[in-house]
Amino acid sequence: MVIMTEPKRFRYQTIPASFVMDHLGEFGPEDMVLDFGCGNGRNAVPILRRGAHVTLYDRNPKALAEAERAAKKTGGRFDVVRANDSGLPRKYDKILLIGVLHMYPEKSGIISECHSFLKDDGLLYSSSFGTPKHCKSPYCFSSPVDFADAHYACGFEHMGMRIVVERSNGFFEGVFRKAVDK
Ligand SMILES: C[S@@+](CC[C@H](N)C(=O)[O-])C[C@H]1O[C@@H](n2cnc3c(N)ncnc32)[C@H](O)[C@@H]1O
């Protein structure tokens, strides 16, 4: 896997991603959720408040500590796993992959990891920067089709009408499930 370093002046967003808020009603107490590359936990917080169990997963210990503090305040059920330490002990009903893929020139490693961490009937909520006018990374996706194809290549398919869209802030996003072998 290619390991990218954070830009020095990188600042985490503080309000939850609109993509997550749009789908918040789909999360409930029965869900085991993985927040892959959780950063400061801004997206985990509203999901914890819905009663879901959330695994906060990141390779950056400072971000994880911040996410843990935010999660504790919700009183919700969560655990904290540093990426690369010990892998993950379980499979998940839902995985958030928000704002991570644009950091990698080659996306298949991360998307395939998500595929392996997801239950067979689970859902992947994936969102990543598109057009470079919104993000300085040279590894943004070039189009929603490019974004979708990267997921299809790793064994995912679309969830019906929840199609990949481009937001005004330049994010491409979609809900995916595991493709069933025909
Ligand atoms: C741009 S931040 C987005 C954080 C959060 N998802 C959000 O929406 O605010 C990307 C995060 O992904 C984490 N990350 C990047 N590659 C990772 C990997 N291979 N495993 C776990 N975390 C990773 C980084 O440490 C960083 O915290």
Domains, the chain, ordered by start: 18-178 (3.40.50.150)
pLDDT in tens, the chain (182 residues): 334 444 444 578 889 999 999 999 999 999 999 999 999 999 999 999 999 999 999 999 999 999 999 999 999 999 999 998 667 889 999 999 999 999 888 999 999 999 999 999 999 999 998 766 667 788 888 888 899 999 999 999 988 656 677 777 778 899 999 998 75
Residue 5: burial class (beta carbons within 10 Å; 0-12, 13-18, 19+): exposed
Interval between CA 101 and ligand 1 midpoint (Å):
9
Which runs of E-coded beta strand occur in 30-150? Answer: 32-36, 53-58, 78-82, 92-98, 118-129
Please name which of 112, 43, 110, 113 lies closest in space to residue 78, comparing C-alpha atoms: 43
Contact indicator for 176, 158 with CB cutoff of 8 Å:
yes
| Mutation pick for ligand 1 pocket among 5, 21, 45, 58 (CB with most ligand atoms within 8 Å) | 58
Backbone dihedral angles phi then psi of residue 113, each to the nearest 5 degrees: -60, -45
How much is the pLDDT for 134?
A: 67
- The three-state secondary structure class of 113 is helix
Interval between CA 10 and ligand 1 midpoint (Å):
11
Atom nearest to 127 CA in ligand 1 = 8
How much of the chain is in helix, strand and coil states, percent to nearest 5? 30, 25, 45
The residue whose two tokens read 């906060």 is 56
What's the rounded Cα separation, in Å, for the pair 39 and 2? Answer: 18
